[in-house]
Amino acid sequence: MENSVYKRLIKLVFNYWPYLALSTATAFIYVALNGISVWLTASLINNILSDFDKLVLEHSHLSSSSILTLNEKIKYFTNELILRDTAKETLKMLCFSILIIFVLKNIFLYLKNISLIVVQYRLITELRNKLYIHFHSLSLSFFNRQKSGELTSIIVNDVANMRQALTVGFQRMFVEPINILVFTSLLFIISWQLASIAVIIIPLAGFVIIKISRSIRRKSRRTAVKIAGITNIITETLASIRVVKAFAMEDYEVGRFTKETDNYYNLMFRRSRLRSIAPPITETLGVLIGVLLLWIGGSEVLADKGITSEDFIRFILIMFSALQPIRSLSNVFAEVQVGAASAERVFHILDTKPTIIDRNNAIKNVEFNDQVLFDNVSFQYEDGESKVLEDVNFSIKKGSVVALVGASGSGKSTIADLIPRFFEPSKGKIKLDNVDIRDVGIKSLRKLMGIVTQETILFNDTISGNIAYGQNEIALTKIAEAAKVANAKEFINDLPHGFDTVIGEKGVRLSGGQRQRLAIARALLKDPPILILDEATSSLDTESEKNVQEAIDNLMKDRTVLVIAHRLSTIINADQIIVLDNGKIVESGSHTELLEKDGIYKNLYNIQFNN
């Protein structure tokens, strides 16, 4: 899994290769200019501390010599660039050269960073869009298993963690080693004996970094899970705030939340402690080796043998300059481990396949002309528990009203969920005009249906936006007509802004009956030939139920309707009533026929009407 995560991360980054190429090219130029700037700074110090005539004489020797070492060649070209007739002119040229090099270096640093910023934010946008699009392709069973807070955390927090790792992290892992290599090469050019001692820091630092990074990866996985748990508590509590307050459970929820945040703090602290310890360790190792080199090289300079004072100054400056990319590399490994842990969670979601998809050559444009037929349908959830439905056979003729009744858990809502293919039958077929609905495109199938449930789903939008949901450029007159038929126009007109009133999250600013009538108006505007009503009035008071029932009666006109009923008074006039018990059809017929059978239906009827 670990290798595949890194491969996929690299593949994601390389989708933006032009920007990465620009960033890498400018990074190389920056590295080269950085090396030159350190070299010239050493020359500046040497120029100030040394006798000018001695510098001229040394350059003259370099000019006349037929064989030069690489170090001497670089010094010769440096002197050719900066050496002038007087010490002051030479100093001026040297200062000017350093200024130009630093300006150019920072221009290329800006270009490197801005190229990465483009990749960062395009990548984070692409990933979030992919996740959100993928969420919509997944089946309802996936969302039944997952916590909404955890999914929110993945799309917000985990993608943000990946942003840093995928761009800055990977590029530094590529560029900083080059930076270290350039500085190390310069050290060997100056003195291979001293450089051999200096490079001991690289394997030592690498060992420290790798050991710490592995622990960071493990802690980052647990941290991502914890922040998802915190997000889930927030989402769950805000959605249920009325219940929390009704049961005076504020202290309980606060305790639950603070316990999670304390656990998160402990994990974050341990991870940050590991991330913070790597740079000081590598720098301390570097300083220890640097002090050793100062003693060895300084002793040689004082004894006037081996390395020259100019080369020693240059060596020490370059060696300490190399510590910065080494320290940066230690941070990069930590960032990449955090990003890799988050990437595992993101890829796990992206790799989840929808269980309900269109078949090849699925029918895209379908009409409803005859009946919906359940042909020996059975259903059980993926966890393998007992069957929810078993060998269900019935049909809904076009223009008829079929009602489902039975105790909770008898399978009524499952039947309603199978028709729009929210779930697939485990056995048997559901046919639309003798065509298996699995051969019909999902969007085409669902366009035939309007669904009104007990739990009304509304959005934090205007009333007109909720009624016209999913339909663009609908005239307000049509929206108003749908509201009128749904018995909603009267209360809408009483609102301060009428159809432009924003109703709050889940329609919280409206009563239950008002929300239900908006849902009915939405279904009316869609004008579906097939209507599914899932206990649409069971949670309403008597007056609200009367208004909603009238709206439902208007909605049911000239449509094929499947009604899941809790209150039998609402389905007395249904063409067919099907009684379910433990996932099986045990009775069916009209209201009158079922009363005559003296079975489950009559017993339910007697209980509700106190007979």
Report for 465-469, 567-571, 604-608: range of highest mean pLDDT: 465-469
DSSP state of 352: P
Nearest one of 463, 455, 466 to 523, comparing CA atoms = 466
* pLDDT cut 90: percent of the chain above it: 7
pLDDT of residue 215: 64
* pLDDT cut 70: percent of the chain above it: 83
Strand order in the sheet with 435-436: 389-397, 371-379, 427-432, 435-436
> CA angle, 315 as apex, 311 and 317 as ends, to 5°?
120
Nearest one of 44, 170, 33 to 106, comparing CA atoms = 33
Q: How many Å apart are CA 92 and CA 7, to the nearest integer?
A: 51
Whether 59 has a pLDDT exceeding 70, the answer reads no
Per-residue pLDDT averaged across 41-50, rounded? 69
Pull the structure tokens for residue 500.
């432009």
DSSP, residue by residue, 47-68: HHHS-HHHHHHHHHHHHH-S--
Q: How many Å apart are CA 444 and CA 149, to the nearest integer?
A: 31
Per-residue pLDDT averaged across 396-411, rounded? 88
Angle, helices 17-49 vs 2-14, to 10°: value is: 90
Per-residue pLDDT averaged across 150-171, rounded? 76
Q: How many Å apart are CA 290 and CA 316, to the nearest integer?
A: 8
Indicate the pairing of strand 560-564 with strand 584-589: unpaired
Check: CB of residue 198 under 8 Å from CB of residue 289. Answer: yes
One-letter amino acid of 212: I
Q: How many Å apart are CA 27 and CA 21, to the nearest integer?
A: 10
Q: How many Å apart are CA 241 and CA 244, to the nearest integer?
A: 5
Q: How many Å apart are CA 449 and CA 465, to the nearest integer?
A: 20
Pull the structure tokens for residue 87.
């010490």
One-letter amino acid of 454: Q
Confidence of residue 141 (pLDDT cuts 50, 70, 90): confident
Angle, helices 476-485 vs 512-526, to 10°: value is: 120
Cα 564 to chain center, whole Å? 37
More confident residue, 1 or 601: 601
Q: Could you give the dihedral angle defined by the CA atoms of residues 40, 43, 47 and 49, in that order, rounded to the nearest 10 degrees?
A: 130
Whether 607 has a pLDDT exceeding 90, the answer reads no
The Cβ of residue 303 has, within 10 Å, a number of other Cβ atoms equal to 8
Nearest one of 286, 284, 308, 288 to 297, comparing CA atoms = 308
pLDDT in tens, 435-465: 999 999 988 998 888 888 777 778 888 889 8
Check: CB of residue 398 under 8 Å from CB of residue 371. Answer: yes
Whether 70 has a pLDDT exceeding 90, the answer reads no
Q: How many Å apart are CA 159 and CA 124, to the nearest integer?
A: 6
pLDDT in tens, 5-34: 778 877 887 788 888 888 888 888 888 888
Query: Which residues make Cβ contacts (< 8 Å) with residue 437, sequence separation at least 6?
Result: 419, 421, 430, 431, 445
Per-residue pLDDT averaged across 101-110, rounded? 88
pLDDT of residue 345: 85
Per-residue pLDDT averaged across 281-303, rounded? 71
Confidence of residue 74 (pLDDT cuts 50, 70, 90): confident
Confidence of residue 537 (pLDDT cuts 50, 70, 90): low
Angle, helices 17-49 vs 170-190, to 10°: value is: 30
- Please report which residue ranges of 167-200 form alpha helices under DSSP H: 170-190, 192-198
Per-residue pLDDT averaged across 26-51, rounded? 76
Per-residue pLDDT averaged across 484-510, rounded? 84
> What three-state secondary structure class fits 509?
coil
More confident residue, 344 or 307: 344
Cα 601 to chain center, whole Å? 49
Indicate the pairing of strand 371-379 with strand 427-432: antiparallel
Whether 171 has a pLDDT exceeding 70, the answer reads no
Q: How many Å apart are CA 158 and CA 166, to the nearest integer?
A: 12
Q: Please count the residues of the chain.
A: 611
Query: Which residues make Cβ contacts (< 8 Å) with residue 525, sequence separation at least 6?
Result: 467, 468, 471, 474, 478, 479, 482
Mean pLDDT across the chain, nearest whole number?
A: 79
pLDDT of residue 514: 83
More confident residue, 295 or 306: 295
- 0.85 surpassed by pTM: no
What does R_g of the chain's alpha carbons equal in angstroms? 37
pLDDT of residue 207: 67
pLDDT in tens, 197-254: 777 766 666 666 666 666 665 666 666 667 767 777 777 777 667 667 666 777 877 8
Please, how many CA atoms are within 13 Å of residue 581, restricted to the half-sphere of its CB? Answer: 8
Whether 306 has a pLDDT exceeding 90, the answer reads no
pLDDT of residue 438: 92
SS (H, E, C) 513-553: HHHHHHHHHHHHHHCCCEEEEECCCCCCCHHHHHHHHHHHH
Q: How many Å apart are CA 32 and CA 109, to the nearest integer?
A: 12
Q: Which range among 50-64, 363-377, 472-486, 579-593 shows the weakest confidence by mean pLDDT? A: 50-64
Q: How many Å apart are CA 317 and CA 229, to the nearest integer?
A: 49
Nearest one of 378, 394, 384, 361 to 577, comparing CA atoms = 394
Confidence of residue 273 (pLDDT cuts 50, 70, 90): confident
